[in-house]
Amino acid sequence: MMIPFVWMVSSSLKFDNQVFEVPIRWLPTNPQWANYKTIWTQVPMATFFKNTVILSVVITFIQLVTSSFAAYGFSRMRFRGRDALFLFYIGTIAVPWQAYMIPQFIMMRQLHLTDNLLSLILLQSFSAFGVFLMRQYYEGIPEELSESARIDGLNEYGIYARIILPLTRPAIASLTILTFVNTWNDYMGPFIYLSSTQNKTIQLGLKMFVSLYDAQYALIMAASVLSILPVAVVFLTQQKYFVEGIATSGLKG
């Protein structure tokens, strides 16, 4: 499973004519670190990274807020039609994105938001899967904690911020990783809505790079390595809570 990634890193430090040599030379005798410097001048890689970071960070933050708020309402609040509304909302997960892709694009075009990062942010601000994930974790927190807090005078916002959120770090870490990775690696969304070079993301930038320099394999590999580094950093910093969330997802308080 790790061999393709190791080969990619190894190839990024070679000359173009050494990438596909047989047998494979896993450790380059003369590492070409300059490849990582050259790619920044071939295409506006810094712009692609900036746009992708903006989208990934903003969308992840908004989804954490909206998903945790909605999940708290569905798990802790009592109102008529709550369960039916939750099932209806979660049922949207079963609808493939391709089914409503065109209506979404028409809506964004009528709002004059095409070729604008805001269109992707608005379309991905809410996540039914995120609400489901957070609600299932909330269900494992004893209701007695909330009742005790209400007796002590805390309102629902205080209970949410001071009791529920600190106890759901694993779920928040899991949702952070999943949302960040999906947004960072998203290709179809930016491909549909973003057309100008100054608004393109790293995935579109890699496609542009491959199209322009299809024979410079070492540079392509170097750009690919850089594109996965932020995802690796996010996972490594959150993996403790992510593993904890997976391990405790089936436990009840």
Q: Which two tokens stand for residue 188?
A: 């179809």
The model's pLDDT over 174-211, given as tens digits with 9 standing for 90+, comes to: 899 889 999 999 999 999 999 898 999 999 988 888 88
- What does the pLDDT look like over 103-129, one tens digit per residue? 999 999 999 999 999 999 999 999 999
In our burial notation (b when 16+ CB lie closer than 10 A, e otherwise), range 200-220 reads bbbbbbbebbeeebeebbbbb
Domains of the chain, first to last: 3-248 (1.10.3720.10)
Would you tell me the crossing angle of helices 34-42 and 202-212 to the nearest 10 degrees? 90
pTM: 0.86
Q: Residue 232 is encoded by which pair of tokens?
A: 């690796």
Are 27 and 194 in contact by the 8 Å Cβ rule? The answer is: no
Average pLDDT value for residue range 155-181? 87
Where is average pLDDT lowest: 63-72, 119-128, 212-221? 212-221
Q: How many CB atoms lie within 10 A of CB 95?
A: 10
Is 40 in contact with 197 (CB distance < 8 Å)? no
User: Peptide bond preceding 23: is omega within 30 degrees of 0, i.e. cis?
Assistant: yes
CA distance 242 to 236: 10
**Residue written as token pair 């496609």:** 207
- Distance between CA atoms of 130 and 149, rounded to whole angstroms? 26
Cis peptide before 96 (omega within 30 of 0): no
Residue pointed to by tokens 């990024």: 12
Query: How far apart, in whole angstroms, are the C-alpha atoms of residue 165 and residue 64?
Result: 11
In order, the DSSP letters of 43-56 are S-HHHHHHHHHHHH
